């Protein structure tokens, strides 16, 4: 069932998987991007065309229903609002505990152009093996905004590198912890893509990332980003572009050259091997400098809601303190089921 609204202005607003809390809610109206463009061109004015998210599939078609309520749809309530409603704790970025993470080239003397070189013992005496843990969640703070049924979210991610195997004079220090709060808007859309793909989401957000340290270890930056969500069957692709925003200039900037290494965007890819096994990758590249990074991981079931994860990293920016240091790392650890979203 299609609905058409004429508007004078519009704003598309986004990010990836959980399966709980979907039954019993009315299907959301989804922005039909193809029909919106066609109707706007035909009528010579801005027109928004939406349709019920559930209307596209027969109610008794289990296979097709599974296709539409994909991990991307469930994670961002693209077709139905989750029963947990507002302010519930939801999965965001992967959340894991890796008892063993091996770093092939530790950064013994972190540096930046404005902060000089850090010579603390926790860096100079660090071991190649450490423990890595990441906590991440999001919460919906407003839903079905505007006439396009956009949702507003708050997200938080914290990643720590713990030198647990370093029993030197400073016993088992936390080498670095990055804090990343963000706020973003997701807009469900519907449009066909080449090779049988579907555009499911547009979005925009603001993210702050810092390590909470004093000089010379202090690292931080702010970004405004735009994101999209696309699917080809079991393959989910989320490209994102960003620009630095509201950062201080000159000597007040902790890391003025961070974009040289972290680039101006990334691409997140997830492929579902089956219900509980996934592979995913995150790629960054700055063509101007030739710097970038690739992250890849495989998640697999262990028992009940517990999953295992094997993760690898190559390039720059595994953490903020290492934004301009190239390294290779690999680790194995644990995560809870449904908390492996990109």
pLDDT at 50: 60
Nearest CA-CA partner of 276 in 252, 309, 237, 247 = 309
Verify whether residue 208 is a known catalytic residue.
yes
Verify whether residue 281 is a known catalytic residue.
no
pLDDT at 30: 67
Q: Is residue 67 located within the same domain as residue 147?
A: no
Mark which of 24, 43, 75 sits at the end of a domain. 75
Q: How many domains does the chain have?
A: 2
pLDDT at 289: 97
Mark which of 17, 40, 75 sits at the end of a domain. 75
The reply to whether 342 falls in a domain is: no
Q: How far apart are CA 333 and CA 96, in angstroms?
A: 7
The reply to whether 14 falls in a domain is: yes
The reply to whether 90 falls in a domain is: no
Q: Is residue 7 located within the same domain as residue 56?
A: yes
pLDDT at 69: 74
CA distances from 218 to 160, 252, 320 (A): 15, 11, 9
pLDDT tens for each residue of the chain, 342 residues long:
444 444 333 332 333 344 445 455 566 666 666 666 666 656 655 556 666 654 443 434 434 444 557 889 999 999 999 888 899 999 999 999 999 999 999 999 999 999 999 988 899 999 999 999 999 999 999 999 988 889 999 999 999 999 999 987 767 899 999 999 999 999 999 999 999 999 999 999 999 999 999 999 999 999 999 999 999 999 999 999 999 999 988 889 999 999 999 999 999 999 999 878 999 999 999 999 999 999 999 999 998 889 999 999 999 999 999 999 999 999 999 998 777 765
The reply to whether 64 falls in a domain is: yes
Catalytic residue among 210, 214, 218, 249: 210
- Tell me the residue range of the domain where 50 lies: 2-75
The reply to whether 306 falls in a domain is: yes
pLDDT at 7: 39
pLDDT at 340: 72
Q: Is residue 208 located within the same domain as residue 244?
A: yes
Q: Is residue 270 located within the same domain as residue 128?
A: yes
The reply to whether 145 falls in a domain is: yes
Nearest CA-CA partner of 227 in 204, 200, 197 = 204
Catalytic residue among 40, 111, 160, 208: 208
CA distances from 176 to 21, 248, 301, 315 (A): 36, 22, 29, 18
Q: Is residue 32 located within the same domain as residue 115?
A: no
Q: Is residue 47 located within the same domain as residue 140?
A: no
Q: How far apart are CA 206 and CA 173, in angstroms?
A: 31
pTM of the predicted protein model: 0.83
* H or E segment to which residue 122 belongs: helix 121-124
Mark which of 75, 110, 139 sits at the end of a domain. 75
Full 3-state SS string of 156-189: EEEEEEECCCCCCCCCCCEEEEEEEEEEEEEEEE
Q: Is residue 161 located within the same domain as residue 308?
A: yes
Q: Is residue 118 located within the same domain as residue 176?
A: yes
Q: Is residue 102 located within the same domain as residue 71?
A: no
Q: Is residue 68 located within the same domain as residue 133?
A: no
Specify the CATH number for the domain of residue 118.
2.40.230.10
Q: Is residue 208 located within the same domain as residue 264?
A: yes
pLDDT at 5: 44
Q: Is the dihedral of CA 188, 82, 204, 219 positive or negative?
A: negative
Q: Residue 80: which region, alpha, beta or left (left: phi > 0; alpha: psi -120 to 50)?
A: beta
pLDDT at 341: 66
Q: Is residue 24 located within the same domain as residue 128?
A: no
């Amino acid at each position: 069932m299609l609905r058409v609204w004429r508007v004078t202005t519009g704003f598309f607003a986004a990010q990836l998987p959980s399966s709980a809390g979907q039954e019993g809610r009315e299907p959301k109206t989804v922005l039909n991007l193809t029909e919106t463009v066609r109707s706007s061109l035909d009528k010579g004015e801005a027109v928004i065309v939406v349709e019920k998210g559930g209307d596209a599939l027969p109610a008794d078609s289990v296979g097709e229903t599974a296709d539409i309520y994909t991990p991307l749809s469930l994670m961002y309530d693209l077709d139905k609002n989750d029963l947990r409603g507002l302010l519930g704790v939801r999965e965001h970025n992967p959340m894991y505990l890796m008892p063993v993470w091996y770093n092939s080239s530790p950064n013994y003397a972190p540096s930046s152009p404005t902060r000089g070189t850090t010579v603390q013992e926790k860096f100079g005496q660090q071991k190649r093996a450490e423990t890595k843990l990441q906590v991440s969640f999001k919460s919906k703070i407003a839903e079905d905004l505007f006439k396009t049924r956009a949702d507003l979210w708050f997200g938080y991610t914290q990643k720590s590198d713990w030198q647990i195997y370093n029993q030197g004079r400073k016993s088992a220090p936390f080498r670095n912890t990055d804090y990343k709060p963000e706020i973003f808007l997701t807009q469900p859309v519907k449009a066909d893509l080449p090779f049988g793909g579907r555009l499911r989401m547009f979005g925009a957000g603001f993210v702050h990332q810092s390590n909470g340290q004093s000089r010379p270890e202090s690292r931080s930056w702010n970004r405004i980003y735009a994101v999209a969500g696309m699917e080809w069957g079991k393959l989910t692709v989320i490209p994102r572009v960003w620009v630095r925003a509201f950062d201080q200039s000159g000597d007040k900037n902790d890391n003025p050259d961070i974009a040289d290494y972290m680039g101006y965007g990334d691409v997140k890819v997830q492929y579902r091997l089956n219900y509980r096994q996934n592979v995913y990758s995150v790629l960054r590249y700055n063509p101007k400098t030739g710097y970038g990074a690739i992250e890849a991981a495989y998640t697999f079931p262990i028992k009940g809601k517990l999953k295992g994860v094997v993760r690898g990293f190559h390039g720059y920016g595994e953490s903020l303190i290492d934004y301009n240091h190239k390294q290779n790392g690999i680790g194995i650890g644990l995560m809870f089921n449904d908390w492996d979203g990109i």
